Structures are given as C-alpha cells and as structure tokens.
Structure 1
Amino acid sequence: MRPSPPPIRRQPPRKSSVQAKIAYRNRSEQTAPVLEYGLDYFQRFEPLTAGDALKRVPSVTFLSDVLESDGARLRGLDPGYTQILINGEKVPGAGADRSFFVDRIPAEMIERIEIVRSASANRSGDAMAGALNIVLRDAYALDGGFIRAGGIMLNDGRIRETLGAVWGGEVGPGRLLLGANIQGRRNPKEKTSWRYDEPGASLNNTELQSDVRNGTDYSFNANYRVPVAGGELDLSGFYVRTDRFADEDSLEYRGGRERIADLLTVNDNDVDIQTDNWSVNGKFKREMLGGETAVKLGYSVFTDSQYEFENEIEYLRDAIPFPDGDRFTADKARTELEDKEFTAKLEHKRALAGFDVEFGAQYQQKDRDMLITEIPRNRYNLPSANPPADKAYAPVLGGDSAIKETRLDPYVMVSGKAGDVKWEAGLRYETTDVDIQDETVAPALRAFSTDYAILLPSAHLKWNLTGKDRISASVARTVRRPGFDQISPVTLEEEFGDNDFVGNPNLKPETAWGLDVGYERRLGSRGVAGVNVFYRDVTDLIELTSIGAGSAGAPALALQTQNVGDGSVMGVEFDLSTPLTAFGLENTGVFFNYSWLDSDIDDTFGGRKFNDQSDYVLNLGFIQDLPTFGGAFGATYRKQGEAYGRIIGEEVTTTYGADLELFVEKRLGEKITVRLTGSNLLNAKKEETFNKFGSTADQKTRAFDEYELESEEAGPVFQLIARMAF
C-alpha cells in the first residue's frame, strides 16, 4: 500500500505588527528573470493603488493624466504589450487590446508585485514587453490583522476618506484571510491649451479647462486554504467597484485674450462611470501519479457602465458678443460593456530521468458584449423658442457587438540543475478562435470568424558565479493579438479627425523573439543590485495605414490597421536596493532604478520609435529609520522621459515634470503607526504638443492643419494615515 503524501509545508504566517524595518527588493530564486517587491517595499509612501506602487519599480511608465497611473507600459510600450496577472492569472479589462487598468486594484490588497521579464511555457505568451504579476494576500500571509484609516487632502482643499481592514487566522481545519477597503478618490486638474495655424504663427485661441474626477472605490478579497483528500484546496476571490464622476468645464477665447468680449465657446462635459471587477478561483493540488497534479478553475467578470453628455454654447458667430449665445450643441452617449472569462488548467509536475518535468493545458473562453448608444447630435441656433426635442438613443457604428474568443494552450516544460547552474526550457502551443457579431453593419458583414495557432519556445538559465554574484539569460517567443476594435468589420466615419477608420478582419497577430541577459549581485545580507539588457525582434507589426479616400471627401482618408513589417525594441535596466551598512548607516536604505528604453520601426513618414515609448524612467529615494525615536522619514524622486507618437494625421509629443514624494512616520509601540505623506510636491506638469495635418501629403510637407500646445497640472496631495495591528 502506497503511503500518504507528506503534508504541504509552508512558512508560518507572519504575526501582525507595524513595519519597523526597511524593506528591500527580494532576490527571486525563480529560474526565469523575475524581480520581486513585497508590499513593505512600497507601503511607507502609502500608495493608493497597484498603479501607484508600480511607479517605483524599473521600466514601468504611464501615459496617464497627472496623479493617475492606470495603463501600465512595461518598457514604455503600449499597455496591450504588457500582460497583467492577478495571482498569476489573467483578468479581463475594459481595453479593446485586452489591457487592464492597474489603478483598479487597491494597494492594501497586495502581498507582492513581480516583474516577469521573459515568458515561460507555463504562462500565457501574450507578454511581449513582459508581465506584471500582482499577488494578493493569501491565507498564509498573516496571523492577526490590521485596521487602516485616514484622509487625503487635495489641492482644492477637499478631503477624501480612506478606511481598510485585513484579518488572517485559522478557521476550522484551514486558514482564512479577509480584506476590505473603501477609498475616496479625487483628482482636480487644470488644463490650458494654446492653438495656432502652425509653429511660429499668431495665437488663434486658448482654452481653459477645469477637470475634476471624484469618486469612491470599494474592494473586498478573501482566501481560504484547507487540506482535502490528501491535498490542498485553495479558494480565492476579489471584488472591486469604482464609482467615479468626471466633470470637465472649459472656456475658449479668441486670440489669447481671456475676456468676455472674446469668448468663443462654453463647454460642459460630464461622465458618470461605474465599473465592477470580480473574480473567483479554485485550485486543488495533491501528490499523485508519481508527482504533483493541480487542477484550477476560474471565472472573472468586468463590467463598465458610463453615461456621458457634452453641452456647448458658441459665441461670436455674429457681431453680437456675450451674453447672447449664437448656437447650442448637445451630445449624449451611454456605454455598457461586459467582459467574462472562464479559465481551466490541468498541470502535472514530476521528476523524470534526473529532470523536473511539467506539462499541462490551459483553456480560456472570453465573452465580450458591448453596447454604445448615443442621441444624434442636437444642434440649433439661439435664441430658439422651440428647440428640437431629444431623439432616442441609437447604437453607434461598431457599438453593438459581441465577441467570443476561445483558447486552448498545451505546454511542456523541463528544468534542472547542474552544480551552480539552473535551467529551464519549454514549448507552448497557443490556439485562438475568434467570433465577432456586429449588429450595426450590413447583414453580409455582421458575423465573421478567424483562427490562428502559434508555437512559443522559451528557455532560461541562471548561473551562480559565487555566493553573491549570478548571471541570467533568457530567450522566448511571445505574441500580441490584434485588438477587438481593429478586427471588427465596421467603418467608423471621422474616427481620426476627418479620417475614417476601417476594421480589418484579416489581421494577423504580432510575434516577437526576445532576449534578456542580466547580472545581479547581493550586497551584504539584505541589499541587491542588478543590470539587465533586453531586445525584442517584432514581426507582423500592426500599424495604421491609408487605404484610400475617406467619406468626407478629399483630403480625408480611409485608415486601416495592417501588418506592415518588422520592428525592434531594446533597452538597459539597472536597479539598486540596499542599506548603507558598509558606510556604518545600517538604518539608512537607498533605492535607485534607471531604464533606458528605445525601439525602431518604419512608417509612411520614415523611422521612429514605437508610439509613445518614453526615452527613460528614473526612480531614486531613501528611507531613514530612527529606532530610538520609533519613527522614520524618507523621499522618492521620479522622472519619466519624453514620449513621441505618430499616426496618419497627427503627431503627439508628451513630457512630464519630476515627481517628489516625502513621508514621516511615528510608531506607537508595536501595534500603531501614524504616517504623513506628500506626493506631487514639485507640482509636476504634463505637457503635450500636437501637430495636426489634413492629409498624408500635408504631413510629409509639414503643411499644418493646426498646431496645439496643452499643459495640465494638479497640485500636491497629502495623506494622514493611521494603521493599527491586532
């Protein structure tokens, strides 16, 4: 009779207490190149979301508004190139490119964040730039609990609340963790735009805009682990709701003269947003069939409901200035999106002929339903005794669609160790079937299907040169699937300025061969420094191209995304995280990472980088612990390089000012911490330059349609947070 397998051994749960030591980047023992950062690494600066935390790690950039960090751009590439995982599993998001906004996950739910620089066979291959794995606290993370409460003061004097709690302990034969969080969110911004006919010309008009985003995020997560039938059952789930209201009000003046006599337009644009994101997962694993077998089932849902209206009054259409308006325009729209994913995995690991072998299959079915309706534009001259009544909502072109994507991805992976060298090699075969039903186009075009299959090899090596030094090397093939909006068989009139957009059902996915080579050195007992060089050779690149005349007539064009050729991405990443023990400063920790980012592709106008890839991203900071005082203080400084993007008809250059954050804390015994943090203390601005053109020929000859400069700022933010352990 075969004996029962031994129980699964784990580190004992961490007793709940206040953070009293400086935390550094963990040195991951995974064979694949992974950087690991625990929550304690970020917590003293009190990030609100996973996006705020990711601003401090190497190679992550954002192209968001000031004070926001939503679409993570690993290595500066578009969010669709970065795979976002939660507990190692994919989750649906609002983006048509399958991207997920990381500001939807509260920081208090996080146990650690992993930067996975190169793909492995047992992970989904849609990670051309890499993957960001957000690991939530599990039942073995904590023995006891925390309560967190405080307030956030914004630049406009408003204070928003924050309240959260987490508890972990034994329940019955297993262990349970529960967490909940309520977070008030507010972002008051001021924008100014200056518009010219071309660079160096006289100022045509200015626009002053107030943009306030106010809302509340609610979150809950749970995890229960229990021994069952000689193995372990792991049940987990999370729920996040975002209620947000965006209020944009703007005034436009002619000639830069900001006075009533030169008022051109008054605009009121409001958006009411409710987003729900939840996921439940179950995993059972046990020793069987000569190894360990795991079965995983998961179900995730993302819903997004938005109501938007935009009202505008125009002036100076006649000789009579303000206060008599000349024309009123109203637009209203509703958006309902639901994205559901069901996943199933079967995995088996065992030792075989001196190696460790892992094989299995992963199944995913995505169902995405979208309905975008709007009231046809209501425009009439003022004054009007009988303005036209609102018409009924009607679906916009491409706005009433259903998408079903089915994947079945078998894989096999072999790993081993020879002396000081660890290695891993694998093959993954990804199959994809897509069905799209669009109710807004002609019946003959409403339904189409496409399918493709891609073989993705990968290999990793890690060599411990000494007890402190090691090198790593990885090669992997990855894929980026076309966005659902790119393959939908619909023509969107004047989608890009005066130019139309035509969907392309025949798009192939992009693929890339990638190479990562790194060196890492341990500094003392807690510090670590590393440097990594990466390269991606991209084929079947998807770019916007011109396919003829547009519906508005010359010079308007019809634009379509097509597979246009090849591109390359490269960079160097350096990171340092260490106490200054060598200088007699054991209670001083320093942090530094710098990533130089570059790429190269050719479009209609010549060579350029991948759109909106920043030139670099820099983070540096320190923490000074004061053990005898029971306190600490510290600072971080962040700067992101210039980003340039170019499509037919428009070119945009984006720059950000530097961001400075400070904190001071006082610990009251072993159970209470009070912390004051300040962010955006340099009042960093986002500045954009827009070059706009009426045709491809105009863009080549630099005959401008409009030249616009835009500046956005938000002001400092202060948090006062108290955290009590029990």
Structure 2
Amino acid sequence: MNHSLFDRGLAPVRSFVSPLSTGLGGVPLLAALGLLMVSSAPARAQDVTGAPGAESPSRRLDRVEITGRQQSDTELRRRAPVAKQIYGREELDKFGDTNVADVLKRLPGVNVADGSPRMRGLGSGYTLILLNGDPAPPGFKLDQLDPAQVERIEVTKGPTADQSAQAVAGAINIILKEAPRASQRDLRLGMVYTNDHPVANATFTLGERLGPVSLSLPLSGFQWRARSVLNAARPGTDENDQPVVASQHGNQLNYGHGFNSSPRVNWRINDDQTLSFQGFAQKGWWSTDVRTRPDAVYNTPQLDQDSDNDGTWQMLRGNLQWNNRFTDTQKVELKAGIQDARSSFNNHTYDPDLPIDALGGNKDRSYTQAGKYSQLLGDDHTVTVGWDLEWRRRTETRTTLVDGEPQLASLNGEDFGARIQRQAFYIQDEWEINPQWSTYFGLRQERIVSTSRGIDVDVRNVSSVLTPLWHLNYKIDPKGKDIIRGSLTRSYKAPELTQLMGRYTLNSKYQLETETNDELSPDRVGNPALKPELATGLDVAYEHYLAGGGLFSLGFFHRNINNLIRNVTTLEPASALVPVPRYVLRPTNFSRAQTSGVEVELKGRAGELLPWVFDPKTALNLRSSLSVYRSRVKAVSGPDNRLDQQQPWMGNLGIDYRFTGLPLTTGANLSFTPGYITRQTNRQTLETSRTRSLDLFAQWTFSPSTSMRLSANNLAPLDTQTLTAVGSDYGYVERRTRTWLGVSMDMKL
C-alpha cells in the first residue's frame, strides 16, 4: 500500500504499531420470458410466478414443465433473461454456515462488511436486498438468518422493471423455503466456538401437505459470541503538555441470542388459482462490552472510555399473494404486505468525570400493495404491466443523561420522525426474437415523497425517477453454450430514513454542548433535504458453459452517478442548540462520480478445466473469481478519490473434493482484498489494510438422512487496521479477530 499517510508527519505512530499492510496493489416493447425463463421443474415455475402452481401464461413454459427435469443452478443461470447468478442448497449448506451473510462473503463479486453484503465494491445501500422478490424490510439482518430457511440466492447484476430500481450495484434476492410437496421433519443442531465457551444454534423445519394446502414452519434459534482486541493511537499531549502519541489498548466482546421463523402456507384453489401467505419473524437481544486502558496519562486528546451497550431488535412481516391464470395467455398477480420493525438500546459509558447514560429506540412500520398483469402476445412476446405502492413511517426517541443531567435539554426525549410514500408503475416486454437473440425492455416510473419532522424540523421533499431498462442476449451457438449479454439501465439509491432524521447527536467523547470537539470526533445530524442518487449503467458480459456443468464468465460494468451522498464534516457556528462552534458530520448530496470494473469467474470439474493435469473422473471441483474496480468522485482531487469502501480488487479461490469409496467431502475457500486509501474530501483520507479469509469444511454422510459437518472459518486471520487523517491529525485503530470452529448435525426425521 502507498504509505504516504505515514510519511507526511505520521512517523511517531511507527513506534506504537507496524505500518499498514501493503496491498497487491420507437422500439417495440421487448422481452424474453420464453425459453430463457423456462424451467422444466416446478421450482422454476416458482421462479417466474413467486408461488407454487401459479404458472406462466407462456405456452413454452407449459410445454417444458411437462418434462419434470430438475435443472441445476448453472442451467437456470444460462436460461435467465438477465445476467444472474443462482446458488441453491449445495452452496448454502457447503460450509455449515450459521448465517446467510457468511454464505454471501464467498460468492463472486460480493463482500460483506458489518453484516451487510456489498456488490462491486460499493458500500451499503447500493446493493438491493430482496426477500422473495420484494425489498427487505428495515431491521432485516442477513447475519442472523439461518441458511436452512433459504431455498436459494439469486444475484442479479442489473435492475428489472418489476422489482425496485434501487439496485445501482445489483440485487441479492433471498428466496425463502417453499412449502413442501410431502411431509417433512428436518433438524439441524450446531455448535460454534470462537472464545470463552461454545454457543449453540438449531433449526427445525416442519412441513405438511393437506390436500390442496401445503405449509412449512421453520424455526431457528441461535447464539453468538465474539471477542476482538483493539489498539488505538492519536497525536496528543502528556501531563506536561509535551507532544506524544497517545495510545490505548482494549478489547470488545459481542454476544447475544435470537430466533427467526419464516412460515409459509400455499393453497391451490384450482388449476388456475393459488393463494399463498409468507411470514417472517426475527427477534434478538445483543450486548457489546468495551474495556480500554490508556498507556499513560494524557491531557489530550479525548480517548474512548469503558462502556456497556445492550439492546434488542424485532422484525415482523406478512405477505399475502393471489395468482390467477385466466387463460393460457393471461394471468394476474396481486400482493399485499405489512411490516413492523423496532429496536431499543441502553448504553452506559464509564467516564469517571462525566458518566453518560443513553437509552431510546425506534419504530419502523410500512404497508405495501402491488400487482401485475401479464399477456402473451403471439408466441414470442410477454408484456407485463404493474404497480408497486409503499407507505412507510419511522419514529425515533432518545434520552441522554450526562452525570445525571439531560444533554441537549430541548431535544432530550423528544420524538423525531420521517415518512416515505412511494408509487411505482412499470411496463416490460420480454421478446424471444429467434433461437439466438432475445431482449427485454422495461420502463419504471417512481415517485417518492419524504417528510421529516422534529424539533425545528419540518421538511417535505418530492422526487420522481424514470428508469428505462434494456437487456439484450445473444447466443453465439443455438444451444446456448456461449452467450453475450448487454444491458443499459437507469437505477437510483434513495436516502435512508435514518439519514433524513434531523436529530442532533453529540459525540460521546465530547458530551458537553459547551465544549468544542475535534474534527475526528464530530457530532452527527441528519439531512431532511437529501435527494436520491441517480445512476446510468452499462453492463456487458460473455458466458461460456462447459459440457460438464462448469462455466467461464467475463463481465464489464460502468456507472455514472449523480447527486452522490457522502458524509461531510464541517465546523458549524454556535447556535441556540449548541452555544459553541462544533464539528458536525452531515450526509450531503456531495458530487458526481463514476465507477467501472471487470469481473471474471471460472468454475467446474478439475478434469474439465485442467484435463492435462487431472483425470476426468477426479471428484475435484474448482472455482475462482477476480474483480477489479476503479472509481472517481469529481469533487475530490486525486489520487485515491474513489467511492467509499470500494477496494481496488478482490479475489476468491475455492476447491471441493469427494473421496472415492468414502462418504466424505471436503473443501476450502480463500478470499483476499488488498489495502487501499480513500480520499473522502480534500482534507480527509482513510487508509484501510488488506483482509483475508480462509474457510475449511468436511462433511461425513452417515446415511441419506443423517450427516455431520465440521468447519473452520477465518483461519489465520490478518489484523485489520484503519488510519483516518485530517491535516496533521490522525486516528489509528487496529482490530484482531479470532478463528471460529463449528460442528453441525443434519437429520431428516
């Protein structure tokens, strides 16, 4: 990595830690729902309709459905009308993961930070998370969802009109398990150890079919416990006001427990109508204990204090869907849903002079209603028109006491709220031009009305986003072994409701409003005037499918982003609320930006990929991916004026091997990201160290109904280091994590 941050007057920190690690450096409406969306299995019908028995109006779909052949994930990917990666049970179960976030971190072009998946190196919010094709509700936690409750994961590189266009980087669709066709009793028991003592997890799935009604009731319970070692350093002064590097050491313990369930009921009313209900419930209790100790007594700066932090979260969701196929060429789908998410927190900071107690919570409720009508025109066009409506409201309350006295008395305990009303209408045409050419054209219009209220805050914003979408596929050979895909799309990223909230929050290191803070410890406040980010995108990909089920993919993407939102720190003058000037961090429509990248993926049987090395019968599978990213924020001078948290490149390498004559399968996966520097503003830079993750697993199958899996995640972890610099001031943080070991038993009862 470029060590210029250390070279510019930061040399004293070398006496405290090693330098950061170096990185390796007039057109008809179009579409292709015909053969490209075909699946011969009932599971594929679900792909199109979202409910069992709700079949497509396409005659081609009816004809293929008769064959009853279950298609692989690779085959479903090949037939998709847009660039899409599909991962089913094999990938979900392979490493014995206890949460979906750990599954996602090994997928090509996906990395996970703070439990949130990110595609194409873009930070949280640019990747659309879907649950059964609908935007995931607030409070939904992928790192607390058991893979046993998931049917498959679909990773789409570009938006489509019938889903939200908030997919600048792409979309990850989590398809929950369907109701079974026969009785089902599955039990998974697991245990994980990372420090102190093991923690347990379990999932039980009950499935029944009673005549035309089928139901599924999965229930998961889980615990977690993780400890990390923290080291921090900043320039400061000692007891004699002499300049020193003020350093402290400590540890952070995260632990908690929770449960989730995703019940589903399907009712096949007749051959043409189905009614389904999909629920989702998630609740958890968390704690974070921080203990620190300074290396000496310092006058400046303010360092972190010991703290105990506890809280809860809860998310409830219910969706009702009705499908009716009027004729072989017409069908309608209606959906309605309600979501309720809430959380609470109780934080205590053990400052010997001014102890802080903060407690509060938030509530987020939304209602959705959607529908679409599909019409088959001739044998080649499927035209769909639809709508998508949402009403969402969030309220927050917070009470903070400093040494028993209210902090910011005029705000303390007061409610702040924000609302969003979203109306979307769309039309799309999927057209199979001939056996080699197919195309998709969509047009989606969304109107978003946001309001924010609170003390001295009453703001209303209206924005309208028109998103044209065009996807084109060309099969170089009629059998579809070689495909070229291209897309021109418009997408957007709406501000989060938390960003619109106008509540002013003081930094915990400078908890008195009568004292001035420093630039690296700013206060926080929302911005009710934020506008959506708009992105215009180009995607081109070549896919080659091998005879043995492997594939090679090479893709390129480019995005132009307007109204880029970035957190900006400014020194704001004294006001009636805060009587002294203080540094404040505020989300702002900051600039325009561009980002581009190249993504390569190769996977398949070793004997097919490397026939000169391995025998064709060798039960060894290989997979690899490499993604290279570049970006530029125009309002910031280069170099390193990249988008936040976008690494220069990332790579994955994995193997799976099934032993001959033994019911044993083993595998490993290695992922790596280099270190990099991000120039966030012309004054502030953030330097991040390289990261590495090595995971192993071994599965022993005792019988068709019983298997055991051993796993080790994050073997030989690297310390992660960040260095934030503003002028001559800087803050350095090093974090050390641990390997976790797991064992699980799967049983079909």
Shared fold, TM over 0.5: yes
Q: Is the 8 A contact 1:25 1:37 kept in 2?
A: no
**Partner Cα separation in structure 2 for residue 560 and residue 488 of structure 1:** 11
Question: Is 1:655 matched with 2:689?
Answer: yes
Matches within 5 A, 1:277-288: 277-288=315-326
Deviation at 1:51, TM superposition (A): 0.8
- 1:374 is matched with which residue: 388, 400, 410? 400
Deviation at 1:276, TM superposition (A): 1.0
Aligned length: 656
Matches for 1:388-407 after TM superposition, within 5 Å? 396=411, 400-407=415-422
Alignment of 1:124-135 (within 5 A): 124-135=164-175
Q: How far is 1:13 from its partner?
A: 11
Question: What are the equivalent positions in structure 2 for 1:526-537 lying under 5 Å apart?
Answer: 526-537=549-560
Which of 105, 111, 132 is the equivalent residue of 2:151?
111
In the TM superposition, what is the alpha-carbon distance from 1:606 to its structure 2 partner? 4.6
Equivalent-residue separation in structure 1 for 2:586 and 2:99 (angstroms): 36
Q: How does 1:331-346 map to 2 (within 5 A)?
A: 331-346=356-371
Determine helix, strand or coil for the equivalent of 1:611: coil
Are residue 563 (structure 1) and residue 589 (structure 2) matched?
A: yes
Deviation at 1:28, TM superposition (A): 4.5
Task: Write the letter of the residue equivalent to 1:451.
Answer: V
Paired letter, 2:714: N
Cross-structure match for 1:232:
274
Matches of 2:304 and 2:679, distance apart in 1: 30
Comparing 518-527 with 188-197, which one deviates more in the overlay? 188-197
**Alignment check: 8 A CA contact 2:705 2:747 kept:** yes
Q: 1:434: which partner in 2?
A: 450
For residues 556-607 of structure 1, give each alpha carbon's deviation from its aligned partner in whole angstroms, at most 9, with x where no partner exists: 5566544343211111111122122433244111121111122111335555
The residue aligned with 2:79 is 29
Q: 1:251 aligns with which of 293, 298, 320?
A: 293
Distance 2:585 2:400 in 1: 24
Judge conservation of contact 1:25–1:36 (CA < 8 Å) in 2: no
The equivalences for 1:546-561 within 5 A come to 549-551=572-574, 560-561=586-587
Match of 1:151 in 2: 191
Letter in 2 for 1:435: T
Which of 247, 265, 268 pairs up with 1:206?
247
Contact 2:592–2:635 (8 Å) recurs in 1 = no
Among 465, 470, 473, the residue aligned to 1:462: 473
Aligned to 1:696: none
Q: Contact 2:181/2:214 (CA < 8 Å) preserved in 1?
A: no
How far 1:368 moved relative to its partner? Answer: 1.0
Q: What is the CA-CA distance between 1:655 and the residue it aligns to?
A: 2.1
Structure 1's 62 and 645: CA in aligned 2 closer, same or farther, altered over 3 A? farther
Residue aligning to 1:447: 458
Contact 2:226 2:254 in 1 (8 A): yes
How much identity, in percent, do the aligned residues show? 21
Contact 1:25 1:35 survives alignment (8 Å): no
* Distance in 1 of aligned mates of 2:433 and 2:444: 24
CA distance in 2, matches of 1:614, 1:310: 34
From 596, 602, 606, the equivalent of 2:628 is 596
Aligned 8 A contact 1:60 1:617 in 2: no
CA-to-aligned-CA distance 1:358-377 (integer Å, 9 cap, x gap): 001111111111112211x1
SS of 2:385's partner is strand
SS at match of 1:108: helix
Cα distance in 2 between the residues matched to 1:393 and 1:35: 50
Alignment check: 8 A CA contact 2:399 2:412 kept? no
Classify 1:266/1:50 alpha carbon distance in 2 versus 1 (closer, same or farther; 3 Å).
closer
Two-structure CA RMSD over aligned residues (Å): 3.1
Amino acid at match of 1:61: N
Gaps of 5+ in 2: 1-52, 56-61, 508-516, 609-613
Distance 2:234 2:743 in 1: 41
Residues 304-350 of structure 1: per-residue CA shift (max 9 Å, x gap): 1111111033xxxxxxxxxxxxxx33111113111112111110111
Q: CA deviation at 1:501?
A: 5.4
Where do 1:693-712 residues align within 5 Å? 693=726, 699=727, 704-705=728-729, 707-712=730-735
Which secondary structure state, in structure 1, belongs to the residue aligned with residue 159 of structure 2? Answer: coil
Q: Which moved more, 1:472-481 or 1:228-237?
A: 228-237
What letter matches 1:88 in structure 2?
Answer: G
- 1:362 corresponds in structure 2 to 388
**Within 2, Cα distance between the matches of 1:12 and 1:395?**
69
- Decide whether aligned partners of structure 1 residues 11 and 268 sit closer, same or farther in structure 2, where only a CA change above 3 A counts: farther
Q: In the alignment, residue 314 of structure 2 is paired with which amino acid?
A: D
Give the corresponding residue for 2:666: 633
Partner SS state of residue 324, structure 2: strand
What is the alpha-carbon distance in structure 1 between the residues aligned to residue 206 and residue 312 of structure 2? Answer: 28
For the structure 1 residues 453 and 139, does the alpha-carbon distance in structure 2 shift closer, same or farther, using more than 3 Å as the test?
same
- Corresponding position: 1:79 with 2:124: yes
Report deviation, 1:629. 0.8
Aligned equivalents of 2:711 and 2:530: distance in 1?
Answer: 48
Distance in 1 (alpha carbons) for counterparts of 2:678 and 2:228: 24
CA shift in 2, pair 1:517/1:397, >3 Å: farther
Give deviations 1:184-226, integer Å, cap 9, x for gaps. Answer: 111111111233359xx98523211111111112111111211
Unaligned stretches of 5+ residues in structure 1: 1-5, 16-21, 65-69, 95-99, 257-263, 314-327, 379-388, 694-698
Task: Find the counterpart in structure 2 of residue 93 from structure 1.
Answer: 138
Q: 2:112 aligns with which of 28, 46, 62?
A: 62
Higher alpha-carbon deviation: 392-401 or 515-524: 392-401
Matched, 1:617 2:650: yes
Structure 2 distance, partners of 1:183, 1:483, is: 29
Structure 2 CA distance for partners of 1:611 and 1:674, relative to 1, 3 Å: same
1:665 maps to 2:690 = no
1:352 aligns with 2:377: yes
User: Given residue 55 of structure 1, which amino acid in structure 2 is its aligned partner?
Assistant: K
State the SS of the aligned residue for 1:42: helix
Q: Taking structure 1 as reference, are residues 134 and 58 closer, same or farther at Cα in structure 2, changes over 3 Å only? A: same
Q: 2:738 aligns with which of 715, 718, 721?
A: 715
Change (3 A) 1:395 1:651: farther
**Quick one: distance in 2 between partners of 1:337 and 1:11?**
50
Shift of 1:454: 1.3
Task: Report which of the two has the higher share of strand.
Answer: 1
* Rounded Cα–Cα distance in structure 2 between residues aligned with 1:151 and 1:210: 24
Query: In the superposition, relative to structure 1, how do residues 621 and 548 fare at CA in structure 2: closer, same or farther (>3 Å)?
Result: closer
Which digits, 9 at most, give the CA deviation of each residue in 1:61-111, with x for residues without a partner? 2333xxxxx1222111121111111111112225xxxxx542132222111
> CA offset at residue 469 of structure 1?
0.8
Q: Shift of residue 166 of structure 1?
A: 1.6
In structure 2, distance between residues paired with 1:202 and 1:637: 43
Rounded Cα–Cα distance in structure 2 between residues aligned with 1:460 and 1:7: 25
- Structure 2 CA distance for partners of 1:617 and 1:672, relative to 1, 3 Å: same
Query: Residues 237-257 of structure 1: CA distance to partner in whole angstroms, max 9, x if unpaired?
Result: 11111211111111111289x
Is 1:421 aligned to residue 437 of structure 2? yes
Mapped contact 1:149–1:164 kept (Cα < 8 A): yes
SS at match of 1:267: coil
Partner of 2:724: 690
SS at match of 2:390: strand
Counterpart check, 1:269 vs 2:292: no
Maintained 8 Å contact 1:499/1:559: yes
Report deviation, 1:709: 2.5
Out of 474, 481, 486, the position equivalent to 2:494 is: 481
Go from structure 1 to structure 2 and tell me whether the alpha carbon gap of 1:305 and 1:645 turns closer, same or farther (over 3 Å shift): farther
Q: CA deviation at 1:266?
A: 8.9
Please tell me the residue identity of whatever aligns with 1:593. S
CA drift of 1:641 comes to 2.8
Q: 1:574 to 1:712 in 2, by over 3 A?
A: same
Q: Residue type of the partner of 2:482?
A: D
Taking a change above 3 Å as real, the CA distance of residues 26 and 189 of structure 1, as seen in their structure-2 partners, is farther
Judged with a 3 Å threshold, the aligned counterparts in structure 2 of structure 1 residues 123 and 721 are, in CA distance, closer, same or farther, namely same
CA distance in 1, matches of 2:617, 2:495: 52
